[in-house]
């Protein structure tokens, strides 16, 4: 099943189970979503539960938060999380802090979902990885799945969660197919997944870069190196035990992320490993990031800036020396 269909199934199933769940965003209704993730939902649930909004992210994010405070469970779709910057005050200063500032009287069960990160030649304003910005904020949960199975199971859990959740997808993987069970299932937030077992080095990643990381692991295997691939799936809450267990097993670790290195989530994981299980390390923690420049439109420059298979292999070999 393609990821877009897995997402559509997750939302539709939750809307059938709970009449308080609704979807709003730009083009989610008549156009079936910018990436067709809400195909057919307007016909099934009607315009009161699948709501086309104006191009006004700050406005419809605020409407969604208000609806959540009144007992509904909105799913707010951003065409990309780049556009969420227009609504970031609503997400960080209202949704994330409502429970604390109301002394527990208000909960905000809302899911903000959309594409994040670079795609092909989107230029400087539409190719940013912002998941660490939201993971920085107490009160939010941040989910970054990779496979269709994880997308569906984690989106259903996000919709049922009583806290605001930022759910990151990727424009590059909406058509990617993978097995998805027909029956009901959910995946708990905050649980990482070992996508490939290994013994020589741990490769940590999340979101679409998990697929790059698996390519790197397979290339290392051809050189006789056994790499374990750990997919975090959720950045907040973070499955620290899974990280520490894997690193304690391999004693070497490389983190692969699309963010810039400074103040990034990968740098935070490196800090956790270096301070909490330093004695388990046989080498400094490795980190591969995007180069520290705004993303250019040029296709050839874009491929240089983003983490590449060759750059990751070189970094892994450096950790293994």
Which are the catalytic amino acids? Answer: 57, 126
Encoding tokens for residue 272?
């956790």
Residue 166, preceding bond cis, omega within 30 degrees?
A: no
Spatial separation of the C-alpha atoms in residues 263 and 129, rounded to whole Å: 12
One-letter-per-residue 3-state SS of 62-114: HHHHHHHHCCCEEEEEEEECCHHHHHHHHHHHHHCCHHHHCCCCCCCCCEEEE
CA dihedral 45, 68, 184, 142 (to 10 degrees): 130
Query: Torsions phi, psi of 188, nearest 5?
Result: -65, 145
Please list, in sequence order, all residues whose beta carbon lies within 8 angstroms of the beta carbon of residue 88, skipping any fewer than 6 positions away: 133
Encoding tokens for residue 286?
């490795």
Q: What angle do CA 116, 119, 120 make, to 5 degrees?
A: 165
Q: What angle do CA 99, 91, 296 make, to 5 degrees?
A: 155
- H or E segment at 212? helix 209-221
- For tokens 């990643």, the residue is 205
Query: Torsions phi, psi of 243, nearest 5?
Result: -65, -50
Strands 201-205 and 253-260: parallel
């Amino acid at each position: 099943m393609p990821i877009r269909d897995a997402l559509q199934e997750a939302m539709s199933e939750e809307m059938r189970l709970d009449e308080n769940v609704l979807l709003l965003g730009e083009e989610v209704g008549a156009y079936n979503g910018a990436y067709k993730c809400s195909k057919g939902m307007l016909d099934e649930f009607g315009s009161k539960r699948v709501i086309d909004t104006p191009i006004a992210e700050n406005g419809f994010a605020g409407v969604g938060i208000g609806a959540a405070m009144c007992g509904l469970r909105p799913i707010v779709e951003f065409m990309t999380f780049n556009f969420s910057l227009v609504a970031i005050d609503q997400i960080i200063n209202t949704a994330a802090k409502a429970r604390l500032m109301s002394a527990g009287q208000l909960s905000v069960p809302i899911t903000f979902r959309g594409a994040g990160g670079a795609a092909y030649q989107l230029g400087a304003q539409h190719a940013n990885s912002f998941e660490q910005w939201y993971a920085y904020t107490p009160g939010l949960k941040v989910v970054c799945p990779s496979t269709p199975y994880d997308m569906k199971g984690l989106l259903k859990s996000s919709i049922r969660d009583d806290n605001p959740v930022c759910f990151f997808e990727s424009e590059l993987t909406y058509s990617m197919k993978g097995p998805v069970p027909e029956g009901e299932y959910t995946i708990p937030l905050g649980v990482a997944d070992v996508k490939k077992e290994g013994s020589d080095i741990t490769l940590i990643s999340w979101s679409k870069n998990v697929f790059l990381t698996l390519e790197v692991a397979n290339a290392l295997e051809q050189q006789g190196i056994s790499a374990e691939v750990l997919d975090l799936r959720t950045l907040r809450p973070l499955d620290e035990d899974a990280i520490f267990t894997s690193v304690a097993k391999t004693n070497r670790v490389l983190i692969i992320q699309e963010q810039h290195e400074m103040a990034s989530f990968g740098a935070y994981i490196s800090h956790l490993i270096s301070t909490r299980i330093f004695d388990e390390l046989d080498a400094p923690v490795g980190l591969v990031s995007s180069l520290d420049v705004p993303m250019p439109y040029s296709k050839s420059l874009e491929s240089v800036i983003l983490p590449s298979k060759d750059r990751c292999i070189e970094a892994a070999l450096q950790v293994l020396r």
